[in-house]
């Protein structure tokens, strides 16, 4: 099974490339968006609120915590899922 382009293996687990859309009507994982995973969140893009909301949305779906490792001020962010293999991440997203 090949991995979607937004899932990347990492020595510590799995990296997720995410395109963030802040200020949406509700929080939801939209799906693939180019080589990223599009996630809409209601939180505004100020003082890290949208980033924290994306981390919560991803964490709920995966059943673990995720941490931001790249793209602090960008809409394109990279999150790390520690200790979870890429294939398990894909399975939990239902891809």
Provide the pairing of β-strand 36-40 with 13-21: parallel
The whole-model pTM stands at 0.94
Q: Is-contact 45 22, C-beta < 8 A? A: yes
- What does CATH list as the number for 7-93? 3.30.1200.10
Residuewise pLDDT in 10s, the chain (95 residues): 689 999 999 999 999 999 999 999 999 999 999 999 999 999 999 999 999 999 999 999 999 999 999 999 999 999 999 999 999 999 998 85
């Amino acid at each position: 099974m090949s991995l979607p382009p937004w899932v990347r293996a990492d020595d510590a687990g799995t990296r997720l490339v995410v395109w963030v859309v802040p200020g949406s009507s509700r929080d939801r994982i939209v799906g693939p968006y180019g080589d990223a995973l599009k996630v809409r969140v209601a939180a505004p893009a100020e003082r890290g609120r949208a980033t924290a909301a994306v981390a919560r949305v991803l964490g709920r779906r995966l059943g673990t915590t995720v941490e931001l490792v790249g793209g602090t001020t960008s809409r394109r962010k990279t999150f790390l899922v520690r200790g979870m293999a890429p294939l398990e991440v894909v399975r939990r997203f239902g891809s």
